[in-house]
Chains A and B, each alone.
Chain A
Amino acid sequence: MRSEIEISEKQPSAEVVLRLRGITKVFGSLVANDDISLELKSGEVLALLGENGAGKTTLMNIIFGHYVADSGSIEVFGSSIQQGSPHVAIELGIGMVHQHFTLADNLSVLDNVMLGTEPLWSLYSNRRAGRQKLEQLGERFGLQVNPNERVAELSIGERQRVEILKALYRNAQILILDEPTAVLTPQETETFFETLKKLVSGGLSLIFISHKMQEVLAISDRVAVLRDGRLVSELKTAGASETELAQAMVGRNIELPERKALKAGEPVLKLKSVTVRAEDGRSALSSLSLDIRAREIVGIAGVSGNGQTTVADLISGLVEPQSGTLELHGEVVNNFTPRNMLRKKVGRIPEDRHSQGVIGDMTLAENIVSESYQEPQFSSYGWQNHLNRQRFAENVVSKFDVRGYSANSPVRLLSGGNMQKLILGRVLSGNPQLILANQPGRGLDVGAVAYVHEQLLAARANGAAILLISEDLEELLKISDRIAVIHRGRLSESFPRESISIAQLGLLMTGQQKTPTTNNQSTEADAS
């Protein structure tokens, strides 16, 4: 007996723990998964790479029993399983950490972990045994969390640990992690990768879902690439290159736009110790100062919820500061309304396309003029000039390559990328001198992101000043000239892109370091 166990531990790669055969799933006219066959071997990290909408999450939801595949079968540890029941999946040792956490904020860590593991009608809850098991697991895998703490009090990284512990507590052997790093800072990501290594050496097999190629290269043993619901490539991570993976993921060559050095011009936007009170669930800004010059992109990095939305609302004219001033071209702005900001040639690309950027039930044309419908070319004596609107809209649609629908179709039918192109078209056709781009690449595929970046860089070359707010460090580093970090409503000074590293940004994002080395400050002084 003993020797058998040792043998199986020595050759983990031989055993297939999870096997998918011909999984197909169709939603309406969308083929989310098309005949996917895949194997997960014991003790390996399999990365599932693909763009938004490639079918990664659908596939994992089928494995975990949230969906039933239209055809195909799943085998776990050699025996095929009945689909459509998370219960069965959990009993067989499959655990899933969802992209959006499934924790009850008002319960303690222990309660969250134990929830659902005990019989419903049992009067007695064995909390002591539960606590013991949780602590043991935490120690074994380096996932320390205080079992008594309420989940609401935990940081995002800690919550993720609780999610993993939840799966381990249910004796998961196969762990599915859906975009686990999306919410983490660079430092938290590193710690998280350490955890994954411990899990693997502890005998677990992992499926790591991601669309970030660098992470996939860093952590996985094998990569499976999904595109449009099909498995297009399966390869060993060792020896794979980023370009190779990117091409497999996108299926064509993407020309990534390049930021060329430009000499920045006059200051366009000046924020001088702007303070905004917190209200309506909005985070506060305290004494925020920032200058942006013409032909310059300034990025604001930060973990979500540290005041980025408030900065965006301020520039958009949705909130006004309690103290401090906002100057545009040297003139102090006193009237904080969207209309006044538009009048002052501020273009705004909002964070949430669907709820703020467009009116889904109105047509492309109506949305394209939604910021300019009052101008004389569209409105005279209270009547809307349909002909001019139509002509203008068709021009924007073709110039900004909005595809799929005519100018008279409702906007809600557009894909995310085309919706963003429409918003870009609306913003840029107003010839803005300051552009606020809030998460412009979020949720878009690689091609659309490249397009958005290209347009922003073109606007920069034309003399616009651009404020880029993003939670994606790669995006920030790709097109920003300077980067500042926001943490708890305070903005760090800005650093030239060339003199700041991801690690430094990460530290600033968690508020651990007030200023990087003096070396950087002097280079910034040189640059300005």
Chain B
Amino acid sequence: MRLEPRTRVPFALVIFAPVAAIVASFVLCAGLVAWSGASIFEAYGLLLKGALGSGFALSETFARATPLIFTGLAAAVAFKSRFWNIGAEGQLYAGALIITVLGTGMLDLHPGLMIPILVITSAVAGALMLLGPVLLKIHFGVDEVVTTLLLNFIVLLLVSLLLEGPLKDPMGLGWPQAEPVTEAAELPRLFRGLRLHSGLLLALLFSLIIWIVSIRTTLGYEMRAVGFNQKAARFAGMPVKSVMIKTALISGGIAGIAGFSEVAGMKGNLTLDLSPGFGYTGIVVAMLAQLHPLGVIISAAFVASIFVGADAMSRSAGVPSYIADVMVSVSLLCMLVSVLLVRFRIRWS
């Protein structure tokens, strides 16, 4: 068996391949569902209904997708320039931390001013988290995978320390949680009675901005060039190092805003379980989207609906909700295979 590059890729195949990958992943996971003793169709039906079947389900799914769009975008921007930011989790917490400090009473402004300021400060906090790793990489060749990954734990421990100490909510009944942000700092809900909040609009806006930057601006041109072929970009006289730094700052900044969006839109206050690994899942989201800024929206919605749907499925059908993790992983593998098959054809010989 050999793989041969396709000389022409039919457009239909480009559209069909990801759909086929998703279908394949559902088929592959059907075995697990059956193994846990549930009927396959019933279980998948419950999953679909739980994710998309009602206004409430949709609200939950998109509320879950919102932080994933931010972290997915952060990963996509960085990976596109071959900067492997594995630290979106830490950047998210850094963003959440700074707005907790500013938003629980220190700043008292009109919401129209308060929210932009908090968006910017959370972005700055996230970006600063990546400044160290990117400078270490550029000047000393330190592998950013290691530095960004380890910073996640450092930030989480710092948050833990602060939540047990100076930031601890005196009304929190002893739980390690911060005071809730003030009303002016809250992101408004989109529908009465549902948890979906305007952080989603912010996430969509950023996807659009990143996409336009990537295809229309000089910086976007440089970022793509550095990502595709750093040697040729350097030879052509592009400022490779400064492009790397800018990429890292943008990536970290977007991940930081995810922290703001979760605290100000979803939870109301900073806790240690603010993010169930949104930073890491963002990497999967970015890969599923093939690093496309707009594709991130779709893949984040997909991943979120699996998680939300699987919760519903496990409540009603008794299938463990861990199946969601398996399904997301399997769908990623299927997607990678489908990408391969779009570029290459199999020859049996």
* A360 and B228 in contact, given A373-B218, A373-B221, A382-B218 (Cβ under 8 angstroms): yes
Chain B residues whose CB sits within 8 angstroms of the CB of A338 once the complex forms: 234-237
Proximity bits, A192-225, B CB within 8 Å = 1, else 0:
0000000000000000000000000000000000
Contacts of B43 in A (CB 8 A): none
- Residues in A with CB closer than 8 Å to B236 are 338, 370-371
Instruction: State in angstroms the CA–CA spacing of A338 and B225 once bound together.
Output: 15
Question: What CA separation (Å) do A342 and B236 show in the bound complex?
Answer: 9
B5 within 8 A of A: yes
**B217 proximity list for chain A (CB < 8 A):** 382-384
Set A29, A317, A359, A373: member contacting B229, Cβ < 8 A: A359
Interface string of A339-373 (1 = CB under 8 A from B): 10110000010100001111111100010001101
List residues of chain A with CB under 8 Å of any chain B CB. Answer: 27-29, 68, 316-318, 337-339, 341-342, 348, 350, 355-362, 366, 370-371, 373-374, 379, 382-384, 386
Interface centre among A337, A370, A371, A384 (most CB of B within 10 A): A370
Q: Which residue of B lies closest to A371 (CB)?
A: B236
Interface of B is mostly: helix
Question: Judging by beta carbons under 8 Å apart, are B232 and A371 in contact?
Answer: no
**Shortest Cβ gap from B1 to chain A (Å):** 14
- Whether A355 pairs with B219 at a CB distance below 8 angstroms is no
Q: Which residue of B lies closest to A386 (CB)?
A: B216
Interface residues of B in 231-272 (CB under 8 A from A): 231-239
Q: Does A318 contact B228, Cβ atoms closer than 8 Å?
A: no
Q: Is B4 an interface residue (CB 8 A)?
A: yes
Please report the C-alpha to C-alpha distance between residue A362 and residue B80 in the assembled complex, in whole angstroms: 13
Contacts of B349 in A (CB 8 A): 68
Check B235 against A29 for contact (C-beta < 8 Å).
Answer: no
Q: Is A29 touching B7 in the complex (CB atoms < 8 A)? A: yes
A-B contact pairs, 17 of them (CB 8 A): A28-B5, A29-B7, A68-B349, A317-B237, A318-B234, A355-B229, A356-B232, A359-B225, A359-B232, A360-B228, A360-B229, A366-B221, A370-B225, A373-B221, A382-B217, A383-B217, A383-B218
Which chain A residues border B224 with CB–CB below 8 Å? 362
Q: Which residue of A348, A361, A366, A374 contacts B235 across the interface (Cβ within 8 Å)?
A: A348
Q: Which residues of A contact B235 (CB under 8 A)?
A: 316, 318, 338, 348, 350, 356-357
Query: What is the CB-to-nearest-CB distance from B189 to chain A, in angstroms, rounded to a whole number?
Result: 36
Of A28, A339, A355, the residue contacting B7 (CB under 8 A) is A28
Q: Once the chains bind, are A355 and B216 in contact (CB under 8 Å)?
A: no
Within 8 A of A (CB), among B167-199: none
Docked Cα-Cα span, A382 to B220, in Å, equals: 9
Distance between A403 CB and nearest chain B CB, rounded to angstroms: 16
Instruction: Evaluate contact between B232 and A370: CB separation under 8 angstroms.
Output: yes
Chain B proximity of A374: nearest CB distance (Å): 7
CA distance A373 to B233 in the complex (A): 12
What 1/0 flags go to B1-45 for Cβ under 8 Å of A? 000110100000000000000000000000000000000000000
- Determine how close the nearest CB of chain B comes to the CB of A412; give it in whole angstroms: 10
Which B residues have a C-beta under 8 Å from some C-beta of A? 4-5, 7, 216-221, 224-225, 228-229, 231-239, 349
Residues of chain B lying within 8 A (CB to CB) of residue A27: 4
Contact present for B218 and A379 (CB under 8 Å): yes
B216 / chain A contacts, CB cutoff of 8 Å:
383-384, 386
Q: Is the CB of A384 within 8 A of B218?
A: yes
Give the complex CA separation of A138 and B324 in angstroms. 68
| Residues in chain A near residue B229, CB distance under 8 A | 355, 358-361
Most buried by A among B216, B228, B233, B235: B235
Per the bound structure, the CA–CA distance linking A358 and B219 in Å amounts to 18
* A residues less than 8 Å from B220 (CB atoms): 384
Q: Which residue of A lies closest to B225 (CB)?
A: A359
Alpha-carbon distance between A357 and B236 when the two chains are bound, in angstroms:
8
Given that A355-B232, A359-B229 are contacting pairs, would A342 and B237 also be in contact in the complex, using a CB cutoff of 8 Å? yes
If the complex has contacts A28-B5, A370-B225, are A359 and B218 also in contact, measured as CB distance less than 8 A? Answer: no
- If A28-B7, A383-B216 touch, whether A339 touches B232 (CB-CB below 8 Å) is no
What is the bound-complex CA distance between A66 and B314, given in angstroms? Answer: 55
Q: Which residues of A contact B219 (CB under 8 A)?
A: 382
CB-defined contacts of A362 to chain B, threshold 8 Å? 224-225, 228
Shortest beta-carbon distance from B217 to chain A in Å? 5
Closest to B240 in A: A338
| Residues of chain A within 8 A of B225, CB atoms compared | 359, 362, 366, 370
B8 shortest CB reach to chain A, Å: 9
> Which B residues lie within 8 Å of A379 (CB)?
218
With A339-B239, A370-B232, A383-B218 given, can you name 19 additional A-B contacts, CB distance below 8 Å? A28-B4, A28-B7, A68-B349, A317-B237, A338-B235, A355-B229, A355-B231, A356-B235, A357-B232, A358-B229, A359-B225, A359-B228, A359-B232, A362-B224, A370-B236, A382-B217, A382-B218, A384-B216, A384-B221
Task: Provide the residues of chain B in CB contact with A317, threshold 8 Å.
Answer: 237
Q: Chain A residues near B232: list those with CB within 8 A.
A: 355-359, 370
| Nearest A-chain residue to B233, judged by Cβ | A359
How near does chain A come to B237, taking the closest CB pair, in angstroms? 4
Contacts of B238 in A (CB 8 A): 370
Note all chain B residues with C-beta closer than 8 A to A370.
225, 232-233, 236, 238
Q: How far apart sit A68 and B239, CA to CA, in the bound complex (Å)?
A: 48
A318 to B237 alpha-carbon distance, docked (Å): 9
Complex A-B, nearest 10 residue pairs according to Cβ-Cβ distance, in ascending order: A339-B237, A338-B237, A370-B236, A359-B229, A361-B228, A379-B218, A356-B235, A359-B228, A359-B232, A371-B236
Q: Inside 8 A of B5's CB, which chain A residues have their CB?
A: 28
Contact residues in B for A348 (Cβ distance below 8 Å): 235
How near does chain B come to A319, taking the closest CB pair, in angstroms? 12
Nearest CB in chain A: distance from B12 CB, A: 19
Chain A residues contacting B4 (CB-CB under 8 Å) are: 27-28
Task: Determine the distance from Cα of A318 to Cα of B238 in the docked complex, in whole angstroms.
Answer: 12
Measured CB to CB, the closest approach of chain A to B227, in angstroms, equals 9
Assembly CA distance A137 to B220 (angstroms): 62
* B237 CB contacts on chain A under 8 angstroms: 317, 337-339, 341-342, 371
Contacts of A373 in B (CB 8 A): 218, 221
Give the Cβ gap from A333 to chain B, nearest Cβ, in Å: 14
B218 touching A356, Cβ below 8 Å = no
Q: Which residues of B contact A341 (CB under 8 A)?
A: 237
Select from chain B the residue with minimum beta-carbon distance to A350.
Answer: B235
Note all chain B residues with C-beta closer than 8 A to A374. 218
In the complex, the chain A residue whose C-beta lies closest to that of B236 is: A370
User: What residue of chain B has the Cβ atom nearest to residue A426's Cβ?
Assistant: B236
A318 to B216, CA, bound (A): 29
Bound CA–CA A498/B349 (angstroms): 56
Q: Closest chain B residue to A355 by CB distance?
A: B231
Of A359, A382, A383, the most chain B CB neighbours within 10 A belong to A359
Distance of A478 Cα from B228 Cα, bound (Å)? 37
Chain A residues contacting B228 (CB-CB under 8 Å) are 359-362
**Bound state CA distance, A78 and B228, in angstroms?**
53
Contact A356 B231 (CB under 8 A): yes
Which residue of chain A has the shortest Cβ distance to B222 in the bound complex? A373
State A357–B233 Cα separation when bound (angstroms).
Answer: 9
